[in-house]
Amino acid sequence: MSKFDADKITKPPWFDDEIRIKKLFSWFYTRLKKHSNRKNNPRKKIDSNFFPHNEDGLTSWELLKSLESQIILISMDDDRSMFDYEWSGATVIFKAEHINILAEWLNIDNNEKLSWQEAVESWKIKEVRSGNVFDFEKLKKLPLLIKNRAHGDVLYRLKSVLLNKSELLTVRQLSAKFFWGDSKVLDKRINWLLAIYPDFKFKNRKIIVNCFLPNVIEKVVFIENQDTYQQLCESDFVTFEKTALVYTAGFRLSSERIRQEENVLLHVNHQNVTSTQVFVDWWFYQSKMTYKLLFWGDLDFSGFGIFKSIKSIFPSVELLLPAYYMMLNELKSGNCHSVEEREKLKQIDPVMTGDIIADKEILPLLRKLKLCVDQESVDLCVLNKNL
């Protein structure tokens, strides 16, 4: 890359919100400054836990990869398992010639950062006198810069959060209570907060799981979209007579928690005392009951990403193949849309789901054609006959 091209590299709008990427780049900068006499490109190997195992982690990984060939290189680990996340074992290499760009992105010697450090130092004097001891040095190194808010005001409200002893609150409750009534201030800053104060405690938001249970349950079908879930709940299809339906909204973001009783609120429709208790016990690993498990979602990367997440916690789940074959027929007949039309370019390819048909047949076709079909296109009366 020429100097002229390098001058065009601008700081991504998401950079300050991506704490893990920013921390990685801070490590590169420190390494380069410490060994300024060397011209070697610093490199760092990241493990599976570098990014969270959810949609946020996948998005962060894609954002990091978007910088490849600009200021970094990424070397994948060829020995990683097909079920590992793509970043597991990857080596990130920073191009040393772009140290000045890195300094700019990290706001090194930036007036606002210096102003923050001065505010922390002034705040430190007051808090020490009051007997409140925080990690002031770490706080100076990791500024919490909020647009149009004075540093002193931010620090005052941060202290209120950290000294909150009244009750355990969710991140959004804490944010709304202490940061100007805005529940979303801490949404992308919780990792920053934990970096500053690792022992900080907050209450997890519970996952709402909606399910429809018949009197007798033989199989469970996970449904991606609300309209299809609703129509099946209201139907009297014989083939679904002994089928529990589960609406999977949000599962991809929290698959590891959906079977932990303390993290879930199960909302059951059409309750039968016996079947409900048996289902609940099975859901929370409290019985040895087994059901045939099926999944049906959109014919796109996001749908298969949800399937992959569900399969990680319900290993025996399979695709509801008649429904997928009907969507594939819709695709072949032209009743489909491109990834560009619905802005699905941001969807992340799940690569491997662990299901042979999905991995060997359907996903390769989606990659080749770049076409999608939504679940709602399927005529449920026809599907009922095909099952």
Upper half-sphere CA count for residue 321 (Cβ side, 13 Å): 6
pTM to 2 decimal places:
0.64
**CA 303, 320, 291: angle at the middle one, nearest 5?**
110
Question: Which of 145, 109, 108, 139 shows the shortest CA–CA distance to 124?
Answer: 139
Q: Which residue carries 């647009």 as its tokens?
A: 147
CA gap 317, 336 in Å, rounded: 26
CA gap 237, 386 in Å, rounded: 12
Query: Order of strands, edge to edge, in the sheet holding 72-75?
Result: 43-45, 91-94, 72-75
207-386: CATH number: 3.40.1360
Q: Note the helical H segments in the chain.
A: 3-6, 19-34, 55-65, 99-105, 111-129, 136-141, 151-162, 171-178, 190-196, 226-234, 251-254, 273-283, 301-313, 321-332, 356-357, 363-369, 380-386
CA gap 224, 184 in Å, rounded: 26
SS3 sequence, 183-248?
CCCCCCCHHHHHHHCCCCCCECCCEEEEEECCCCCCEEEEECCHHHHHHHHHCCCHHHCCEEEEEC
Over residues 176-185, the pLDDT tens digits come to 999 999 998 8
Domain map (residue ranges) of the chain: 3-105, 111-196, 207-386
Q: If 0-12 CB within 10 Å is exposed, 13-18 middle and 19+ buried, where does residue 193 land?
A: buried
CA gap 94, 33 in Å, rounded: 13
Note whether 300 and 344 are within 8 A (CB): yes
How many Å from the N-terminal Cα to the C-terminal Cα in the chain?
57
CA gap 116, 136 in Å, rounded: 12
Q: Would you give per-residue pLDDT tens digits along the chain (387 residues)? A: 444 344 467 888 888 888 899 989 988 887 887 776 566 889 999 988 899 888 888 989 999 999 988 899 999 988 888 778 899 999 999 988 888 888 888 876 556 777 888 888 888 888 887 777 788 888 888 888 887 788 889 999 998 888 887 788 888 999 999 999 999 888 878 888 888 888 888 888 888 899 999 999 999 999 999 999 999 999 888 788 899 999 987 565 566 788 888 888 889 987 678 889 999 999 999 988 999 999 999 999 989 999 998 998 999 999 999 999 999 999 999 999 988 776 666 677 888 999 999 999 999 999 999 899 999 999 999 998 888
282: left (phi over 0), alpha (psi -120 to 50) or beta: alpha
CA gap 100, 77 in Å, rounded: 29
Q: What is the pLDDT of residue 45?
A: 92
Return phi, psi of residue 246, to 5°: -125, 125
